[in-house]
Amino acid sequence: MFDAIVIGSGMSGGIAAKELCERGLKTLILERGRKLTHGEDYTDSLMPWELPHANKIPEDELADYPVQSQCYAMTAANKSFWVNDREHPYSTPDDKPFVWIRGYHLGGRSLMWARQSYRLSESDFAANGKDGHGSDWPIRYADIAPWYDHVEKFIGVSGSKEGLEQLPDGEFLPAMALNDAEVDFQSKIERSFPGRRVIPGRCAHLSEAKEHHLELGRNPCQYRSLCERGCSFGAYHSSLSSSLPAAERTGNLTTITDAIVHSLIQDPKTKKVTGVRVIDAHTKEGRIYEAKIVFLCASTIGTAQILLNSKSAENQTGLANSSDMVGRNLMDHVNTAGALGVYPGLLDRTYFGRRPTGFYIPRYRHVTEAAEFMRGYGFQGGISRAGWHEAAFATPGVGAEYKAAIRKPGPWTIFLSGYGEMLPNPDNRVTLHPNRIDQWGIPIPHIEISHGDNDRRVAKQMDLDAETMLIAAGATIIKATPPSGEADAQPVSIAAAGSGVHEMGTACMGKDPRTSVLNGFNQAHDVPNLFITDGSAMASTGTQNPSLTYMALSARAAYHATEFLKAGQV
């Protein structure tokens, strides 16, 4: 028997395992995907000319990746990191698509994430209780702030201190500075819209490596921006480069890959989980692993699937589901087309290297500007110049004339992409398909989600604001929703749910066991030794990228779980 089992090795599972191991618990990680080795299984050393088809995936191969290929980060160089959609099916209604982006391997999506790392604020944690949508968070900013500190110091987050109430400052490494064009844009926007700020993107990259990073073999960012292929330098935080090596050096970690979790086993007398049923991905043989506590970090939809499939005589609707909230309140950030334009001037300027982040415009609606909808949105963006690599594939020709042509830098281009808050809705949910099973005999997830009226109002205004800001900065619009001057007259360009790759909810935290799944320690109301710390625990989305919050919740829950275990309370 282990002290702890962690299901999933991605963003939250990696941190949970690290914290549990460092607190002395013999910990088992169960990962449904294959084993990957940091550095050895990456393709970041390949030069552009070493990649076939200009790093594009041939159409016949794309047939197996109709969902995964919708993610900007999927290329021929890292195709092996993404699941084969044909081999890993899920279902949706025909008129309600959901884009479920996945990576089944050791480290999970922590290898492919965009690394944007922002804290939720006090207003984010209070929002549900204030306007009555979703369950009131059982914690507030003060409860998680020390754990944000803890995680940021460990993973390394570059950023600038800005003193914004809606976007709390953190424990930052030096920021990756804005380029000249972005500084120009910053000046224009902050002058034209006094309540809006343009700041360097906060990202989990080592702009400067501290001693504890170097001890793990991590090194400063090389500004190659090949991050989605895996980083052999360990410059960005992933489970493979960071949290799992930290757990392994304690001597307390055991890792088993190719282990498909079928369900959890509960003792009906004690209400505790006693074991985890696992199916070998290759042999299809079943086995059971036992532990004193279990951390379920299988991702928002995977976690719901496991809980719902953990049926028993005592739990007819699944484990930890007396509230009937398991699978409900599925959310993703509201995503739209945003805006793209040519930025004027500065043709005598350029920059060197490829910075792995851009700029960020924190939420301003209901902060410095009013809105006719609830919650708000933030923007991510950047300004760059096309170089030889882009020109090489866009310019026809051969020989000396061709080479001379592609040496000339292209124009500056700017993009803005918004992330809006989606309101919790219990009708947006994950269930088990009644008659379809996967290759291991497990019912596949059925996902049903749609955007509400408030979500659509957020999307309309978000697109309008993006275009308005580009025009105010003097950019020539290439792509955007046609300007209308009125948000209500503007067509909605809202993307399918899941496109933001920030799925959350399905096992939300809350104060009331009747309307939530987890308490303020990420501990299941119904199952005292079960802790859930992935995106499923989120009671609301905020407007910020959520991974930093998952990690902070994981570290916090691991501390309390260990203390509860020592005290004999679980």
Q: What is the pLDDT of residue 401?
A: 80
Name residues whose C-beta falls within 8 Å of residue 422's C-beta, 6 or more positions apart in sequence: 331, 332, 333, 334, 451, 455, 458, 497, 541
Rama region for 53: left / alpha / beta (φ>0; ψ in -120 to 50; rest): left
Chain region(s) in the chain for CATH 3.50.50.60: 1-92+103-150+232-331+433-450+503-569
CA angle 26, 243, 249 (to 5 degrees): 50
Q: What is the pLDDT of residue 216?
A: 98
In eight-state DSSP terms, residue 216 is T
Q: What is the pLDDT of residue 187?
A: 98
What distance separates the 2 farthest-apart alpha carbons in the chain? 80
pLDDT digits (tens, 9 = 90+) for 98-147: 999 999 999 999 999 999 999 999 999 999 999 999 999 999 999 999 99
Q: Is 460 helix (H, G, I), strand (E, B) or coil?
A: helix
The β-bridge partners of 413 are 342, 384
The answer to whether 129 and 30 are in contact (CB under 8 A) is: no
Question: Taking Cα atoms as reference points, which of 114, 355, 111 lies closest to residue 241?
Answer: 111
Question: Which residues of the chain register pLDDT less than 50?
Answer: 484-485, 487
Question: Taking Cα atoms as reference points, which of 348, 334, 356, 52 lies closest to residue 203?
Answer: 356
Q: Give the H or E element holding residue 222.
A: none
Q: What is the pLDDT of residue 71?
A: 96
Q: What is the pLDDT of residue 305?
A: 98
Q: What is the spatial distance between Cα 155 and Cα 149, in angstroms, rounded to a whole number?
A: 10
Q: What is the spatial distance between Cα 239 and Cα 243, in angstroms, rounded to a whole number?
A: 5
Cα torsion angle, 368, 373, 376, 379, sign: negative
Q: What is the pLDDT of residue 350?
A: 87
Q: What is the spatial distance between Cα 482 and Cα 471, in angstroms, rounded to a whole number?
A: 12
Per-residue H/E/C for 108-151: HHHHCCCCECCCCCHHHHHHHHHHCCCCCCCCCHHHHHHHHHHH
Query: Which CATH superfamily includes the segment(s) 1-92+103-150+232-331+433-450+503-569?
Result: FAD/NAD(P)-binding domain (3.50.50.60)
Q: Give the H or E element holding residue 548.
A: helix 547-566
Q: What is the spatial distance between Cα 115 and Cα 127, in angstroms, rounded to a whole number?
A: 25
